[in-house]
């Protein structure tokens, strides 16, 4: 297999172009068709028992293509980031560039690495604004600590991360307004904003949120801040009123959140 080509952008965005040999594509596609053919019904044959070519004719070509790539790309990407020691912040977006029958295929993976920056005297930075916080509430002090860190630590945030966060926020907004029986157009009219203005506003908020998350995570790593399993369980018990099962990924997200909360509490105590 041809060595993947990697291109990095200044903001941390990474593009990797893979060339996949046709022999590999053909082999995996055949196995994919066999896998999908089990559920295909062809007149004159029992379900899943039709000749492979007849079963394939009943399958959607795009569906077969996507399933074929789903058997190839995750391992291809995983092996590459292991060998190159990359630390992607998000799962990549894949784009099929070339997919001609009988020829090697090209696929581009687009992801982003977390920015690297110097973690200097963050405690001293917080203490410098302590006099301005004497009459503030705890919540106001937290906001001041966050604003101070964001203003001090300047580094590029990958556009891909911002776009992911913006899309997530917009999706949540759409769910909320639909539950209220509103349309996006009526909501935008009520807040006197265009869709583009809303996206720009969400982009600024997303960049701010990502920046403080990155900074707090780096401080937690340096200070070796951790949370115990019982702390995570207590949080889940208090927040999960419905008693739904919590996945390991969700537990990991909660653990990360609690660690950052601990860091923020430590920094706010300096004010």
User: Is residue 164 domain-shared with residue 90, that is, in the same domain?
Assistant: no
Domains held by the chain: number = 2
Q: CA-CA distance, 231 to 88, in Å (whole number)? A: 28
Last residue of a domain, one of 93, 112, 131: 112
- pLDDT at position 48 over 80: no
Mean pLDDT over 50-71 rounds to: 89
User: Is residue 131 domain-shared with residue 103, that is, in the same domain?
Assistant: no
Alpha helices in 42-158 (DSSP H): 52-58, 61-84, 122-127, 138-152
pLDDT of residue 250: 85
pLDDT of residue 75: 93
Q: CA-CA distance, 54 to 61, in Å (whole number)? A: 13
Domain assignment of residue 167, yes or no: yes
- pLDDT at position 241 over 70: no
Domain assignment of residue 62, yes or no: yes
pLDDT of residue 50: 80
Phi, psi for 75 (deg, rounded to 5): -70, -40
pLDDT of residue 2: 75
Handedness of CA 163, 164, 170, 171 (dihedral sign): positive
- Give kind and range of the element (H or E) at residue 267: helix 248-268
User: Is residue 191 domain-shared with residue 93, that is, in the same domain?
Assistant: no
Phi, psi for 27 (deg, rounded to 5): -65, -50
pTM greater than the 0.85 cutoff: no
- pLDDT at position 243 over 70: no
Last residue of a domain, one of 51, 78, 112: 112
What CATH code is carried by the domain that includes residue 20?
3.30.70.1050
Domain assignment of residue 117, yes or no: no
Taken as a whole, the chain contains a residue count of 271
Cα angle, residue 223 at apex, residues 233 and 259 outer, rounded to 5°? 25
What CATH code is carried by the domain that includes residue 226?
1.10.3120.10
pLDDT of residue 266: 93
User: Is residue 140 domain-shared with residue 263, that is, in the same domain?
Assistant: yes
> 53: pLDDT confidence band, cut at 50, 70 and 90?
confident
User: What percent of the chain has a predicted confidence (pLDDT) above 90?
Assistant: 68
Last residue of a domain, one of 112, 135, 168: 112
Helix (H, G, I), strand (E, B) or coil at 84: helix
Cα angle, residue 81 at apex, residues 77 and 84 outer, rounded to 5°? 135
Q: CA-CA distance, 108 to 99, in Å (whole number)? A: 12
Domain assignment of residue 64, yes or no: yes
pLDDT of residue 135: 84
Mean pLDDT over 149-153 rounds to: 94
First to last CA, the chain: 57
Handedness of CA 144, 149, 154, 160 (dihedral sign): negative
Q: Is 270 exposed, middle or buried (0-12, 13-18, 19+ CB in 10 A)?
A: middle
- pLDDT at position 242 over 70: no
Domain assignment of residue 214, given as a range:
122-268
Q: CA-CA distance, 114 to 32, in Å (whole number)? A: 35
User: Is residue 93 domain-shared with residue 180, that is, in the same domain?
Assistant: no
pLDDT in tens, 6-21: 999 989 999 999 999 9
User: Is residue 137 domain-shared with residue 255, that is, in the same domain?
Assistant: yes
User: Is residue 82 domain-shared with residue 130, that is, in the same domain?
Assistant: no
User: Is residue 130 domain-shared with residue 215, that is, in the same domain?
Assistant: yes
User: 52-61, 144-153, 155-164, 217-226: which range is least confident on average?
Assistant: 52-61
DSSP 78: H
DSSP 180: T
pLDDT of residue 166: 96
Asked if 139 contacts 70 with a C-beta cutoff of 8 angstroms, the reply is no
| pLDDT, greater one: 102 or 43 | 102
User: Is residue 91 domain-shared with residue 157, that is, in the same domain?
Assistant: no
Q: CA-CA distance, 105 to 99, in Å (whole number)? A: 5
Asked if 122 contacts 150 with a C-beta cutoff of 8 angstroms, the reply is no
User: Is residue 126 domain-shared with residue 77, that is, in the same domain?
Assistant: no
């Amino acid at each position: 297999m041809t060595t993947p080509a990697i291109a990095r952008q200044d903001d941390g965005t990474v593009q990797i172009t893979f060339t996949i040999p046709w022999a590999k594509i053909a082999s995996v596609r055949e196995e994919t068709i066999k896998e999908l053919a089990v559920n295909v019904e062809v007149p004159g044959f029992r379900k899943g028992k039709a000749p492979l070519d007849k079963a394939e004719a009943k399958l959607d070509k795009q569906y077969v293509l996507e399933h074929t790539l789903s058997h190839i790309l995750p391992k291809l990407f995983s092996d590459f980031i292991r060998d190159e020691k990359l630390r992607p912040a998000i799962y990549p977006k894949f784009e099929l560039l070339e997919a001609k029958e009988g020829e090697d295929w090209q696929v581009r993976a687009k992801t982003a690495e977390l920015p690297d920056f110097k973690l200097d005297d963050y405690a001293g930075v917080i203490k410098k604004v302590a006099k301005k916080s004497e009459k503030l509430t705890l919540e106001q002090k937290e906001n001041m600590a966050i604003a101070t860190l964001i203003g001090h630590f300047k580094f590029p945030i990958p556009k891909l991360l911002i776009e992911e966060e913006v899309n997530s926020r917009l999706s949540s907004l759409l769910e909320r307004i639909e539950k209220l029986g509103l349309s996006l157009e009526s909501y935008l009219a009520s807040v006197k904003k265009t869709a583009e203005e809303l996206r720009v506003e969400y982009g600024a908020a997303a960049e701010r949120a990502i920046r403080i998350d990155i900074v707090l995570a780096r401080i937690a790593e340096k200070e070796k801040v951790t949370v115990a399993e019982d702390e995570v369980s207590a949080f889940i018990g208090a927040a999960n009123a419905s008693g739904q099962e919590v996945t390991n990924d969700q537990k990991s997200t909660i653990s990360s959140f609690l660690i950052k909360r601990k860091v923020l509490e430590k920094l706010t105590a300096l004010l």
